[in-house]
């Protein structure tokens, strides 16, 4: 194994884990459209990562390599949220060159262990070998180099968005290979009110969110969350979440149009 000084430097799009390890908050975009050109526009803003939503987004697996590649070309880490219970897709996203994956509806340590089996290499997991495109985008030519380093720079996040997941939080974070959690506040609110309320900013979430941040701080793992509006994202950064998304693609377009239209009318 070469010494660290002899290893090829990672391309910027694969330095997400290092940036998160610095401890400062990181703001990410959210994309549901299957358009690499739009993705590149988002990736070239001041946002520091882009999440591609396969769970609810308007695209399938065929679009993912192009979207991830567009982000990587802009030097921006790609994060792929896989469909529910599709851990094989999470593994493929890493092969395509994603810097991180988010798995929805992780409700137990057993779910977390299955996620790790697909997304971390042996001996930690059982990820199958086949990261040719990821190696090219990362700037790593040698297979053994990628194999030795991938578990360190490939971030695996378990979504906490159910009552069961919240109750099993400590057990989920204790699973070796889970790098952190990502909160889905809409579903968590629905779950905690037994379907009576949909409000990602509800006061009833304050205590669970604080519990999640504290548990991540205690275990040295990442606390991430879907932030929604810019104001809400800023508030969540103030609550010590380290990975916070800001808005989403449709909102970016609408806000830009309305701002320019308003400026035109004022002029």
How far is the C-alpha of 211 from the C-alpha of 150, rounded, in Å?
30
Q: Is the peptide bond before 123 cis (omega within 30 degrees of 0)?
A: yes
How far is the C-alpha of 64 from the C-alpha of 79, rounded, in Å?
11
First to last CA, the chain: 64
Catalytic residue IDs: 56
How far is the C-alpha of 229 from the C-alpha of 248, rounded, in Å?
9
How far is the C-alpha of 26 from the C-alpha of 224, rounded, in Å?
9
Please give the structure tokens belonging to residue 219.
């275990």
By the 8 A CB rule, do 29 and 42 touch? yes
How far is the C-alpha of 150 from the C-alpha of 90, rounded, in Å?
14
């Amino acid at each position: 194994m070469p010494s660290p000084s002899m290893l090829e430097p990672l391309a910027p799009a694969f330095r997400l884990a290092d940036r998160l390890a610095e401890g400062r908050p990181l703001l990410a975009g959210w994309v549901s459209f299957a358009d690499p050109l739009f993705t590149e526009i988002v990736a070239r803003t001041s946002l520091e990562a882009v999440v591609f939503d396969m769970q609810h987004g308007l695209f399938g697996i065929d679009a993912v390599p192009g979207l991830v590649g567009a982000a990587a070309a802009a030097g921006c880490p790609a994060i792929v949220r896989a469909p529910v219970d599709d851990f094989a897709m999470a593994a493929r996203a890493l092969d395509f060159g994603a810097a991180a994956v988010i798995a929805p509806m992780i409700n137990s340590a057993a779910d977390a262990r299955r996620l790790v089996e697909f997304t971390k290499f042996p001996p930690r997991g059982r990820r199958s070998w086949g990261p040719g495109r990821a190696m090219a985008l990362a700037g790593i030519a040698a297979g053994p180099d990628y194999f030795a380093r991938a578990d360190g720079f490939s971030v695996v996040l378990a979504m906490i968005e159910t009552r069961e997941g919240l109750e099993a939080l400590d057990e989920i974070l204790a699973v070796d290979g889970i790098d952190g959690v990502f909160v889905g506040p809409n579903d968590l609110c629905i779950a905690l009110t037994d379907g009576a309320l949909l409000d990602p900013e509800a006061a009833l979430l304050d205590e669970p969110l604080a519990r999640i941040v504290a548990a991540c701080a205690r275990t040295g793992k990442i606390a991430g969350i879907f932030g929604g509006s810019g104001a809400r994202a800023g508030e969540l950064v103030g609550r010590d979440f380290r990975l916070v998304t800001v808005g989403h693609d449709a909102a970016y377009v609408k806000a830009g149009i309305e701002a320019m239209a308003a400026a035109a009318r004022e002029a």
